[in-house]
């Protein structure tokens, strides 16, 4: 009885038992969507591209590099396939990302700082009816700007939970 060749995969081996090296990215298989992580990306007919059945994003594939890139977005987002999951392949400029974060911090801190400075420079009379107003106005200013910058960050980075929630909300409202 001859020993089996370890280089040749066993024909009865299921996909669940396959090692990451054996499950390569190809157009004839479906994969979890790297953006929403809820849908499946499958091949678009007559095209060398994938599309998600949940979030409807379109991806071009580079089979030699085992990667996909989202083409229907303004952000250049790409992921590498390791055999089981997607790993982000960030192609963003590091300087641009640090500038965006700095602008975000300024947009949150500067308006709240101006409101604080005005309330500190011209405080209300102690014991007056509106003595609470500067503190509440400062809190509202800080929270409103923090929410706006947070929304811009999750829109830019396309976090899976945010994308899935946005799609479900759109479907709930009847706009597909």
Residue 111 token pair: 């308006």
Residue labelled with tokens 């994003």:
57
pLDDT above 50: residue 99: yes
Q: What is the average pLDDT across 52-76?
A: 86
When comparing pLDDT for 137 and 161, which is higher? 137
pLDDT band (50, 70, 90) for residue 137:
very high
CA distance 146 to 167: 23
Q: How many CA atoms lie within 13 A of 20 on its CB side?
A: 8
Terminus-to-terminus CA distance in the chain, angstroms?
60
Domain spans of the chain, in order of start: 15-88, 94-170
């Amino acid at each position: 009885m001859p020993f089996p060749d370890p280089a040749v995969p066993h024909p009865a081996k299921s996909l669940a038992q396959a090692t990451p090296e054996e499950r390569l990215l190809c157009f004839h298989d479906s994969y979890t969507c790297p953006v929403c992580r809820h849908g499946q990306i499958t091949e678009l007919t007559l095209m060398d591209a994938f599309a998600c059945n949940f979030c409807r994003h379109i991806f071009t594939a580079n089979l030699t590099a085992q990667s996909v890139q989202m083409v229907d977005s303004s952000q250049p987002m790409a992921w590498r396939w390791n055999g089981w999951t997607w790993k982000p392949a960030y192609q963003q400029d590091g300087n641009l990302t640090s500038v965006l974060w700095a602008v975000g911090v300024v947009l949150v801190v500067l308006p709240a700082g101006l409101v604080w400075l005005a309330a500190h420079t011209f405080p209300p009379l102690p014991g007056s009816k509106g003595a609470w107003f500067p503190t509440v106005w400062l809190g509202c200013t800080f929270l409103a700007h923090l929410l706006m910058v947070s929304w811009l960050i999750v829109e830019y980075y396309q976090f899976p939970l945010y994308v899935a929630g946005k799609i479900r909300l759109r479907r709930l409202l009847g706009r597909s």
